[in-house]
Homo-oligomer: A and B are copies of this chain.
């Protein structure tokens, strides 16, 4: 059955509470208490066979007895009764359920089995299910509060442009509190719990389209729904809204044991990082940053450049803020002479009118100084953002005037404004936030959030200027793993069927790896395979001497560990001897698996790189491109790319390698053909999509990046094939 949209879950006209309690502080009593407290004007149906009335409302004995249609049914009953209740809900035509109850997959396999049944009910009936083990929803616009979150029991609602979407209720509550402290607030608060049906991504995809929402804050422990997240990221780009995500489990030891170089090198978090980057989702480091970034990213203004003017009451603080700006890629604005003249006219002689602008204790004696100085800076055509950095503003300072002047300047000007105020009262920070000025007590945090916002703004502007971005095009292409490959190539299934019999433990020999990749147009092979018997025949089209010879066997994937590679063979005669030796040595190691000896051109020089593929449990195939050689491994110089891959995106990844300057001819070195390396990445990405799940690993290592115009030479290749995995590749 088709799944319904989340419209009724997130903006319900009627809410039933199954297991409703008369006690407004109990978990099963809170939703009704909150609905009343926040003025919900839809229908409320308490359901409880043991009561006629709950919290002053008529109570129904079962969900089937409820007279009207039900958009949301809250399930707040013991875990053991949940399945039956859900079936009743589905039968009664309930649009969506929110299961508060815990005791499912979080308890291990037994609970997991029950939870899978929940998923089945949802899939079968089309009814959407949030949870189990979730705090539920607060939907501000609808004044709908099907939640038991303690955060809403007291105090005022802090409404604002944010949407909190979190797998954890406690984390959602912390974020809500932090936003409130920062003078910001929410339109949605959704805790998805165990995600038997509705995921964080599903909710994001809905709320990001709400005109009242200008920033989405996500918290994820598991990436259960990468496809959905990718879509949410793409829609957020269309809507020109930011999605900020905090993903925990960064250092989890999830590195799968892998036989290939690539698999061992790139950790799982690299793929996560690349996934967010590709889909324009901004990843933050911790909760405090997420809340601070929310304020910065939730504003209507975008940055148009990196040039920052700092205004401060302390020269020392000004220097530190400038340091941090430079470290994070912001630039120190050079002020126009008129701006400096204007500042000098309003500042005492010992103050600094250069950037950073130090207004000194003059601010004590001239409380409205900022009402003149900040607009002057924001009007300067060389200034894209103003960082107001204060500290030690004790007794005597007119805090109201400072807040008011900053807020006014922010309202009146296009340049960005952000405040870092050491030792400010929490109330000062909140009031600035309420007036729309991003502010924090920690100037470093302000600089970090400004720097991230500038980068985000410029990336978005780039995407607009250059039409659909590389990433968007990649997604728009919607190349699924079942798409037909190039017309000249047989079906993937046929190719795999042809090569699978040649594998040992999944591995193809170098020769067959290259042959497969040649068939998929990834490379052109000039290598020659000499059968053991043909060694002496000189009529084969061998490469020019000197040559390289390698024993070829699928059972010996790491040939050089076994002395099965011989370099610099000068002539026919030597080759003949080497072929015999290699064949016999390889036969000793893996009898009956030796295909022959592979003879290759000896490639001298070039920049050593590698291209590989690993499988990630969440994202499927990840293509990895990096600098080669032993030292480079130590310096972890590689980039992950998720297929489908456009040339522009691959090139950007190659350019992002730390060793790129060396490839691009730094220190008078030769310019290497790094464009060819980028093309190889694209081709590998295509091959990967074509082969689909059957491709387990691929290593092209080393790849020699030759001088400009001469392309790349793939010196070794290793492909591992397997059965398609159970997990579907997104």
Contact = CB atoms under 8 A, between A and B. Distances in A.
A366 B713 CA distance: 68
Interface in A634-650: 634-635, 637
Given A327-B251, A350-B102, A394 B151 contact: yes
B444 A285 contact: yes
- Name the residue in A170, A251, A313, A394 with the highest tally of chain B Cβ atoms < 10 Å from its Cβ: A170
A103 B319 CA distance: 20
A662 interface: yes
A150 B153 CA distance: 42
Interface string A217-234: 001010000000000000
A323 B250 contact: yes
Nearest to A422: B174
Contacts of A659: 631, 634-635
B635 A286 contact: no
Q: Size band of the A side of the interface?
A: 35 or more
Contacts of A252: 323
Give how many copies assemble into the complex: 2
Given A174-B392, A394-B151, A442 B316 contact: no
A221 to B, nearest CB: 6
B630 A662 contact: yes
B631 A632 contact: yes
B316 A167 contact: yes
B170 A391 contact: yes
A574 interface: no
A571 interface: no
Contacts of A314: 168, 170-171, 174
A658 interface: yes
Contacts of A174: 314, 317, 391-392, 422-423
Nearest to A154: B395
A666 B426 contact: no
A423 B181 contact: yes
Interface in A196-255: 219, 221, 246, 248-252
A52 interface: no
A658 B635 CA distance: 7
- Name the residue in A103, A106, A150, A443 with the highest tally of chain B Cβ atoms < 10 Å from its Cβ: A150
A104 to B, nearest CB: 11
A412 interface: no
Given A313-B170, A422-B177, A627-B631, A288 B442 contact: yes
A324 B249 CA distance: 10
B150 A392 contact: yes
Nearest to A220: B316
A661 B630 CA distance: 10
Nearest to A168: B316
Given A167-B316, A395-B153, A658-B635, A350 B103 contact: yes
A396 interface: yes
Given A103-B350, A107-B350, A170 B323 contact: no
Interface in A242-270: 246, 248-252
A234 to B, nearest CB: 26
A669 B560 CA distance: 13
A35 to B, nearest CB: 19
A581 interface: no
A394 B316 contact: no
Interface string A274-297: 000000000001111100000000
Interface string A85-124: 0000000000000000011001100000000000000000
A320 interface: yes
A629 B632 CA distance: 12
A666 B173 contact: no
Nearest to A323: B250
- Name the residue in A153, A177, A246, A659 with the highest tally of chain B Cβ atoms < 10 Å from its Cβ: A177
A171 B316 contact: yes
A308 to B, nearest CB: 13
A635 B107 CA distance: 46
Interface in A287-311: 287-289
Interface string A414-450: 0000000011001000000000000001111000000
A346 interface: no
Contacts of A666: 630, 634
A315 interface: yes
A178 interface: yes
A324 B287 CA distance: 12
Contacts of A170: 313-317, 391-392
A667 interface: yes
A462 to B, nearest CB: 25
A319 B249 contact: yes
A323 B249 contact: yes
A102 B637 CA distance: 52
A455 to B, nearest CB: 18
Contacts of A350: 102-103, 106-107
Contacts of A658: 634-635
A326 interface: yes
B150 A394 contact: yes
A443 B102 CA distance: 27
Contacts of A103: 350
A201 to B, nearest CB: 17
Nearest to A627: B631
A633 interface: yes
Interface in A358-408: 391-392, 394-396
B392 A177 contact: yes
Q: 4 nearest interchain CB pairs?
A: A170-B314, A173-B392, A168-B316, A174-B391
Interface of A: 102-103, 106-107, 150-151, 153-154, 166-168, 170-171, 173-174, 177-178, 181, 219, 221, 246, 248-252, 285-289, 313-317, 319-320, 322-324, 326-327, 350, 391-392, 394-396, 422-423, 426, 441-444, 627, 629-635, 637, 658-659, 661-662, 666-667, 669
16 contacts: A102-B350, A154-B394, A170-B313, A171-B392, A173-B391, A181-B423, A248-B323, A251-B327, A252-B323, A285-B444, A286-B442, A286-B443, A288-B442, A629-B631, A631-B632, A631-B659
Given A154-B394, A171-B316, A426-B426, 10 more contacts: A168-B316, A171-B392, A173-B391, A174-B317, A177-B394, A246-B320, A288-B441, A630-B666, A630-B667, A631-B632
